[in-house]
Structure 1
Amino acid sequence: MDLELDGTSALVTASSSGLGKASARALAREGANVVVNGRDEDRLAATVDELQDVGDGEVIGVQGDLTERADIERLVERTVEAFGGIDSLVTSAGGPPSGPFLETTDQDWYEAYDLLVMSVVRTVREAAPYLGESEQGTITCITSRSVKEAIDSLVLSNSVRMSVVGLEKTLSQELAPDVRANAVLPGPHETSRIEELIEQAIERGDYDSYEEGLADWAEGNPLERIGDPIELGDTVAFLSSPRAGYINGVALPIEGGESGSNL
């Protein structure tokens, strides 16, 4: 299926690794010009090199911290300077620390809100005028399945990420019909973070092999596996495309049916 993204421009935040990177790869593969973003300069440069040849579009990297307003402003400015506008915005961010409620400090809450919510607020605010000028403006927010079903020891993610879905739903109404806004709610995918956690568990003696650790992460999933990051990326690319032109205001779980939630 041709997603009709050839020659369009996309900005993907927190995309030097993980699901943001997978989304950038999928968009680039469809011919979009893509700006990738991250804090680590070396990792960002490696991502640009990796994605440069996956499609016909151009891939550039813009270093920046999503908790810094000035960095977000510069990120949007550089995208517009490079590609003349923004057709697709994909927001992503790293996860906040785990831990039980009674061990979570006020500072933990403020930092999680700044990282997960205000980064989206500020990026959308800066990008909205350009998205509105596009003939196919879209916003796709990568959040977590934790907004549907609370996950043990992830009180910050369970609580704060729900604000992103509330924002996405509001944007889907306020910015329509010029801009569509949706969210994806991923479960575990085999990102570098999951690989790192499994390797650490092997060193602790929790698993005898990587395959055993991977099987443990997939325990209880109806598909008997965790996701491949590009499966999430392909969904983001679809939602960013005219092919998904009547999908707006949706929060789509991508977790193999693992959640017990009916909605």
Structure 2
Amino acid sequence: MDLELAGDAALVTASSSGLGKASAKALAREGSNVVLNGRDEGRLEDARTEIESVASGRVVTHAGDLTDPDDISELVSVTVEEFGGLDHLVTSAGGPPSGPFLETTDEDWYAAYDLLVMSVVRLIRAAADELRAGDGGSVVHITSHSVKEAIDSLVLSNSVRMSVIGLEKTLSRELAPEVRFNSVLPGPIETERTRELLEQAIERGEFDSYEEGLAAKGSTNPVERIGRPMELGNTVAFLCSPASAFTNGITVPIDGGLGRSNI
């Protein structure tokens, strides 16, 4: 299926690895010109090499910190300068640390909000004019299954990420019809973040090994495994495309049926 994304300009944040990289790869494979973002130049170059192997558009890297307002403005400016505009924005960011509520400091809360919410606010503010100027801009937020169902030991993610969903729903009306806003809610998917959380769980004594933790995560899922990054990336590309032109203001769980909520 041709998603009609060839020649479009896309910016994907936190795309040197994980779900951001998978989303950028899916867009590049469909012919979009993509800017990759991350803080580590070496990892960005590795990601570009991998994505260019399947891309039919251009792939550009630009390092920047999503908690730095100046870096965010520059990131959008670079995208526009490289590609002549901006059609699609995919927001992704690393997750906050795990841990119980009573061990979470004020500094932890402010840092999580700055990373997960204010980065999105600043990105959209900087990109809004360009997104509205095209034939149909789109924004897709990569958040977490935790906005539907709280996950043990992830109090920061459970609480703070919900703000992005409220913002998405608001902007799906305020900036319509020029720009569509949607979110994907990944469940357990084998990324570096998953490995990090499992290693923290091992340190807390919850599992004896990574393999045990991975099997435990997949055992409760109806599809009997955890997800693959490209399974989410493909959905992101679809939500950016004209094929989803009547899809606006929704949240899409990508969790293999793990969630038990009816809506």
Q: 1:153 is matched with which residue?
A: 153
For 2:162 and 2:243, the matched residues in 1 are separated by 27
Query: Is it true that 1:10 corresponds to 2:10 in the alignment?
Result: yes
Give how far 1:137 is off.
0.3
| 1:216 pairs with 2:240 | no
Q: Residue in 1 aligned with 2:73?
A: 73
When structure 1 is superposed on structure 2, of 94-103 and 243-252 the one drifting more is 94-103
Q: Describe the shift of the 1:216–1:133 C-alpha distance in structure 2 as closer, same or farther (beyond 3 A).
A: same
Partner of 2:144: 144
Task: Give, in whole Å, the separation in 1 of the partners of 2:202 and 2:69.
Answer: 39
2:181 equivalent to 1:181: yes
For residue 69 of structure 1, report the CA deviation from its aligned partner. Answer: 0.2
Q: Distance in 1 between matches of 2:185 and 2:121?
A: 18
CA contact (8 A) 1:28 1:55 kept: yes
Measured after TM superposition, the shift of residue 181 of structure 1 is 0.3
Q: Distance in 2 between the 1:118 and 1:208 partners?
A: 36
Indicate the SS of the match to 1:252.
strand
How high is the sequence identity, in percent, across the aligned residues? 66
Secondary structure at the counterpart of residue 218 of structure 1: helix
Structure 1: gaps spanning 5 or more residues: none
* Equivalent-residue separation in structure 1 for 2:25 and 2:221 (angstroms): 26
More displaced stretch, 100-109 vs 124-133:
100-109
Q: How far did residue 194 of structure 1 move?
A: 2.7
User: What is the CA distance between 1:243 and its match in structure 2?
Assistant: 0.2
Stretch of structure 1 that moved more, 42-51 or 138-147:
42-51
Contiguous gaps of at least 5 residues in structure 2: none
Distance in 1 separating the partners of 2:213 and 2:58: 37
Paired with 1:98 and 1:200, the residues of 2 have a C-alpha distance of 8
8 Å contact kept, 1:201–1:207: no
Preserved CA contact (<8 Å) 2:95 2:193: no
TM-score by length of 1: 0.95
Which amino acid letter does the alignment assign opposite residue 244 of structure 1?
Answer: S
**1:119-130 alignment, distance < 5 Å:** 119-130=119-130
Partner of 1:237: 237
Structure 1 residues 200 and 62 mapped into 2: Cα distance closer, same or farther (>3 Å)?
same
Report the Cα offset of residue 213 of structure 1. Answer: 3.8
Matched, 1:109 2:109: yes
What one-letter code is carried by the residue in structure 2 that aligns with 1:109?
A: W
Aligned to 2:163: 163
The residue that corresponds to 2:257 in the other structure is 257
Q: Equivalent residue for 1:99?
A: 99
Letter in structure 2 aligned against 1:248: N
8 Å contact from structure 1 (residues 95, 157) kept in 2: yes
- 1:203-227 Cα distance to aligned partner (Å, 9 max, x none): 98945673x4432121211110111
